[in-house]
Chains A and B, each alone.
Chain A
Amino acid sequence: MIRESIPDKLLKLSFYLILTLFSVYCLLPIVAVVSSSFSTESSILRDGYTLFPVEFSLEAYKLIFQDQTIYKAYGVTIFITAAGTALSMIFTSAMAYAISVKTVKYRNAIAFYAYFTMLFHGGLVANYLLISKYLGMKNSIWVLIIPGLISAWNMFLLRNFFASIDESLAESAKMDGANDAYILMRIILPVSLPALATVGLFYALGYWNKWFDALLYISDPDKFPLQYLIQRIMNNLDYVNQIAADVSIPNFIPPAITVRLATTMVTIGPIVLLYPFLQRYFVKGLMVGAVKG
């Protein structure tokens, strides 16, 4: 090991410093919102937003959990995340595997067929018409799943991963009399777990964070997903007033700011919990897929 020179050490030190600062920058807004959501409305109005709650209060959380709205939105989001991710993974990995096998003659043609959609698309209007007018999917919960079932980008990520698996693995199984289905289920998928976990996480996050499709196609409040609920809360006070109406305290002024922030926190909760467990997997999976690209 060569001893590090002073300029090298200084450079390294500055890297630590910059990355620490950037990490603080990434974390600060989250800490700020968490703390504000646990503050009383009056302290925010008086002192402004702070990094630590000045007057600790659970009022906002109590209010939102009294109301049905958040539970319904949670139900919608959990359903589209679970069902959507499962379906997306089936569709995506099936197609990705088919075009990763080198004996498939038309694999490049099919790959281009999918790739072209990343370059050129029909635009918002055509999609909107197709989905709302011709497929009649307006206000159906499936409109949050089916039109976004496959992401070409994710499909290629998986294709690259499958293609990077040593061919001899499948070949020797074939010699032993295994058919294509057996090879896929028993050999390819098990060794692809990091990549599948990565892509699965991408899809899950995509579904969890979905709001624009809801903005376009969903007008039934019972079918609002969480993120769209936040979007609505931010743009009008109906939600806060509606909750307040359910609370029978005379002259009760709803804490509009903290209720909004608390609702936001509640929607990101599960990601915060899942993230540390999945992080390791997906960095690895994404790296493998990217290198082979």
Chain B
Amino acid sequence: MSGTVMKQPELLQKKLSGQQRGVLGAFFHELIRNKFLYVLALPGIVWFFIFCYVPMGGIVIAFQDFKAVKGITGSPFVGLKNFEFFFHSKDWLLIVRNTVLLNVLFIAFGTLASVAIAVMVTELGSPWFKMISQSVMIFPHFLSWTVVAMFMTAFVATEGGFINQLLGMIGVQPVAFLSSPQYWPAILVLLKIWHGAGFGAIIYMAAIAGINPDIYESASIDGATRWQKIRFITLPLLKPTVILLTILAVGGIFNGDFGLIYAIIGRNPALYPTTDVIDTYVFRALMDLGDMGMSAAVGFLQSFIGFILVLTVNYIAKKTAPESAIF
């Protein structure tokens, strides 16, 4: 965020008025000066307060033996008991592993696919091919995961599903996907790419569009091939965008893609070994067991670790590639 450069007299006047009025006075002076704009921002500020900041206060539930009738103010504090309870369950290692592994796969393959699509689309000459392929590739992003889940049934059904029909053609026995957890990380990654890669490419295309065309021109004059231009100009100049988006994604690495996994897997315990993630686990703990304390404790850990991760990755980015850091 860039600071405003003020002209000297204006700055001086501002300083003076600040001193004369005191800090509070200057504050109100500013509010009055831009009253229309602050009034515009106010509903948003209030909304963020109620729906984002107030729930942050709800984190205390993580340290309470929460009883709905007693409420947040009446429930007794139990220290770290809720955290202990979670870590004593034998599932925690599995779901943490699933969450991180799936997210790493999603981030890695998703980024790879989006960057590849963006580079390829921008290299193409034919405008109509560009337009049609882009429309087709972006379209799946507009379908909700519940719709996609419905599609999936047509694909993974043991009897008559597309994948098994294809396998049948090459003489492979049908696979019972709905009871074979080992295939699901791959299926989910393919699904994620199907759903989001074309859409994700837009941002990279924007970044490529922002590259100075002179660079390509001089490379052409020097006799660079198309591939060399991609490798030595486009990809290096895309790096800051890739890093920036990866930092943002890393913050969510402990948040499972709930929409995707809950909609697709639903409550199929046979697939839990590879697909149960923190969010789905917490959701079940909350809805089925009504265990608010543990759910809140896990939710707090997710948010906290994500926050620390973003700060860490951002710090590293700042040291190594300053232009990609967020703050």
Residue positions of A touching B, CB distance < 8 A: 2, 4-5, 7-8, 11-12, 15-16, 18-20, 22-23, 25-27, 29-30, 32-33, 36, 44-45, 47-49, 91-92, 94-95, 97-99, 101-106, 108, 110-111, 113-114, 117, 119-130, 133, 146-147, 149-150, 152, 155, 179-181, 184, 205, 208-212, 227-228, 230-231, 234-235, 260-261, 264, 267-268, 271, 275-276, 279, 283, 286-288, 290-291
Shortest distance between the CB of B133 and any CB in chain A (Å): 5
The yes or no answer to B263 lying at the interface (CB within 8 A) is yes
Q: Are B44 and A104 in contact (CB under 8 A)?
A: no
Contact among A15, A121, A212, A275 with B120 in the assembled complex (CB-CB below 8 Å): A15
Partner of B61 from A22, A126, A180, A260 at Cβ < 8 Å: A126
Chain A residue nearest to B61 (CB atoms) is A125
Interface residues of B (CB under 8 A from A): 1, 4, 30, 33-34, 36-38, 40-41, 43-45, 47-48, 50-59, 61, 68, 71-72, 116-117, 120-121, 123-125, 129, 132-140, 142-144, 146-147, 149-151, 153-155, 157, 159-162, 164-165, 194, 197-198, 202-203, 205-207, 209-210, 220, 225-227, 251, 258-259, 262-263, 266-267, 279, 282-283, 286, 292, 295-296, 299-300, 302-304, 306-307, 310
Contact A23 B133 (CB under 8 A): yes
Tell me the total A-B contact number using a CB cutoff of 8 A. Answer: 284
A192 to B307, CA, bound (A): 33
A133 to B125, CA, bound (A): 58
B133/A126 in contact, CB under 8 A: no
Interface residue SS majority, chain B: helix
Q: A26 contacts B139, CB within 8 Å?
A: yes
Q: Is the CB of A128 within 8 A of B286?
A: yes
Residues of B with C-beta under 8 A to A49 = 154-155, 157, 160-162, 165
How far, in whole Å, are A12 and B123 apart by their CA atoms in the complex? 7
Q: Which residues of A contact B157 (CB under 8 A)?
A: 48-49
Contact for A32 among B138, B142, B154, CB less than 8 A: B154
Question: What are 14 residue pairs bridging A and B, where the CB atoms are less than 8 Å apart in the complex?
Answer: A19-B133, A20-B133, A29-B151, A45-B159, A91-B47, A123-B300, A125-B299, A130-B50, A130-B51, A150-B48, A227-B146, A235-B267, A271-B142, A279-B135
| Contacting pair A231 B263 (CB below 8 A) | yes
Q: Is the CB of B147 within 8 A of A267?
A: yes
A16 to B30, CA, bound (A): 57
In-complex Cβ contact of A36 among B120, B137, B154 (8 A): B154
Complex: how many Å from CA A31 to CA B43? 44
**Residue of B54, B146, B207, B227 touching A130 (CB-CB under 8 A):** B54
A91 to B197, CA, bound (A): 30
Smallest Cβ-Cβ distance to B37: which chain A residue: A98
CA distance A147 to B293 in the complex (A): 22
- CB-defined contacts of B55 to chain A, threshold 8 Å: 121-123, 126-127, 130
The answer to whether B194 and A227 touch across the interface, beta carbons within 8 angstroms, is no
Contact B150 A261 (CB under 8 A): yes
CB distance from A138 to the nearest CB of B (A): 13
